[in-house]
Structures are given as structure tokens and as C-alpha cells.
Amino acid sequence: MHYRLERRAIGMTLAIIAAASIGGFVEIAPLFTIDQTVEAAPDMRVYTPLELAGRNIYMREGCYACHSQMIRTLRDEVERYGPYSLAVESKYDHPMLWGSKRTGPDIARLGGKYSDEWHVRHLINPREVVPVSIMPAYGWLMENDLRTNDLSDQLAAQRAVGVPYTPEMIHNAASDAYAQANPDTGRVTDLITRYGEATTTRTFDGAPDRLTEMDALVAYLQILGRLTDAAGRNTPAGDLE
């Protein structure tokens, strides 16, 4: 049978095109209804420059290889991690970090679960706060100053793929990153004006005299699951009964 197919090159080519077309249609067709399937989130906010820098550090260090950011609609997942993930919650994630590997727990709703101090200690020496942890230490994040000279470029790149950063946000990216981790500098008002009242401003790494990579990563971890409260509104109590 295979020999006969190979002898009919045109027919085989057409069959391959047909098979590929079916697969392509199955993948592409749902995109035409994306506006009806993705939940609305009027309160959705963008990452601040500091949080976006933290996300980039998270990716740089390969954290996504051990931690997923997508809670499935299974009872045990919801009971352990919180409301199941919605598509809209990843609206401004480029690239998305859903993942499927869980050497460590899912962190889609990690924001606010632990204190900044806990995160700093955990990143410096995971065994200090979780004795059975197999997570590697990231102590150098406390030693590395956060590079801010390219933050405007990072926001501009995000805007190019649909994230609604304004020209003002892009221009003031470095200043806003510093203000978020150093609330006593007097720049916080402008930061909140640009990013909203929900913006968290504090010294994330406990060292107000410097802006470190630890500041950025902790700021990112503390916002996970808190860019919108759509999950709470869209998960009725009876959904999982």
C-alpha cells in the first residue's frame, strides 16, 4: 500500500495538504470566537516596570521549568491553589508561562500568600523556610543591582505585541521601577497615577538604599494572581460541587 502511494506523488502530496489543512483548521477556527470565549476583566492592569523586570528574571533563571502558572478545573487543584485559572489572566503575558511541570507547586495565585521577607529568605536559602525543598538558592539576586537602562525598551516591546503601555509609561519606566521599591523618594504619586491605586509600593528586599534583582523578582511573585479579580467573580461556589 505504501509503495503504491509513493508512486502517486501528486495524490500523496494532495493527501498531505488535506491532512495538514484539517489540523490547521482545528487549531485556527477557535480563534475566530476568541472575543466570546475570553472572559472580560475591566479591572485588568498591566505589569509595572519593576514587576515586568522581575518576570524577565524569573524566565532568565528558568523558574518556569519547575513551577506552572495554570490551575486546572479539578477539585484537588482548586482546593490546594485557589480558583482555577482564566484565559484573561494571561492576557498580558508574553510569553505565557502556564507550564505543566511541577517539581515545585503551581504559583498562579502566589501573590500575597507569603510576606516579602519570606520570599527573600526562601530565594536566598530555600531550606531555611521549607526544610524539604529541593529548590536551588538564588542568593545573588540580593547582590545584583537591577539593570534599568533598558526597561523602556522592554515596555516598548510589550506594547508592540498588544500590551497597552502608554508613551508616558515607557518614557518613565526606570523612574517608576525605582519608585515602586523606594516609596519614600517622592515619586510614588506619579507611579500610582500611571498604574493605578492597586499598585504595591514598598521595599521588597528590605534594603531601601539599593534597587536589586531581588526587589524585582519579589515584586513579580507578589502580583501573581492579583492583576485582576476576574477569577473570584467567575468561579461561583457551586461550580465545583
End-to-end CA distance of the chain: 52
The answer to whether the beta carbons of residues 138 and 216 sit under 8 Å apart is no
Instruction: Report how far residue 99's alpha carbon sits from residue 84's, in angstroms, rounded to the nearest whole number.
Output: 14
Packing angle, helices 151-160 and 49-60, rounded to 10:
90
DSSP state, 107? -
What pLDDT, on a 0 to 100 scale, did the predictor assign at position 36? 66
Identify the pLDDT of residue 23: 87
> Does the bond joining 95 to the residue before it have cis omega, within 30 degrees of 0?
yes
Query: Is it the case that residue 34 has pLDDT exceeding 70?
Result: no
pTM reported for the whole predicted model:
0.84
Residue 238 has pLDDT above 60, yes or no: no
Model confidence at 230, pLDDT cuts 50, 70, 90, reads confident
Q: Domain 43-240 class?
A: mainly alpha
Q: Where are the domains of the chain?
A: 2-36, 43-240
pLDDT beyond 70 at 196: yes
Cα dist. 125→111, 118, 163, 241 in Å? 20, 10, 35, 40
As a residue count, the chain comes to: 241
Per-residue pLDDT reduced to its tens digit, 121-150: 999 999 999 999 999 999 999 999 999 999
Confidence of residue 186 (pLDDT cuts 50, 70, 90): confident
Share of the chain above pLDDT 90, in %: 73
